Amino acid sequence: METYKQFIKRRSEAFQKNLSKYKNNPKDCYLKWIPDINRKGKYGFLREAWTFMKQFNTEEKIFIIERFKSIKIIKPITHKKVKVGEIEYRLGYYMVGKNGNRKNKWTWGESCPIIPKEDFDKLIKKAKKERVVL
């Protein structure tokens, strides 16, 4: 099974490759598309920066903070004040799956992250130091 260090390295390289491809040739396929709540419109975000951090008491959970820039909006959208060029952040986590076809594989957490108090400030400080959080 892939260690958390190997996983972080692999994901960071993939994110960097995608960002570089977009900068060299800005195409929609390099954006992260998020559907609007109305399920008709969608938002195209460019992942500009990210930081990973392992949870202090397990090697099977990694937190991530991502900075996205809004690049494209496909209407209709519910939130009329959202504009192209705005910055948004996503806080999430990956964990080693325990069931089905994700067993022993790193997988995106499906719910909002629960972060131990020992890690919260450390994660925010790390993201600020790495200039993910501006």
Question: Which residue ranges make up each domain of the chain?
Answer: 4-129
pLDDT digits (tens, 9 = 90+) for 36-74: 999 999 999 999 999 999 999 999 999 999 999 999 999
**Burial, 64: exposed, middle or buried (Cβ in 10 Å; 0-12, 13-18, 19+)?**
buried
Q: State percent of the chain over pLDDT 70.
A: 100
Q: What is the mean pLDDT of the chain?
A: 97
What does the alpha-carbon distance between residue 34 and residue 71 come to, in Å, rounded to a whole number?
Answer: 12
pLDDT digits (tens, 9 = 90+) for 113-125: 999 999 999 999 9
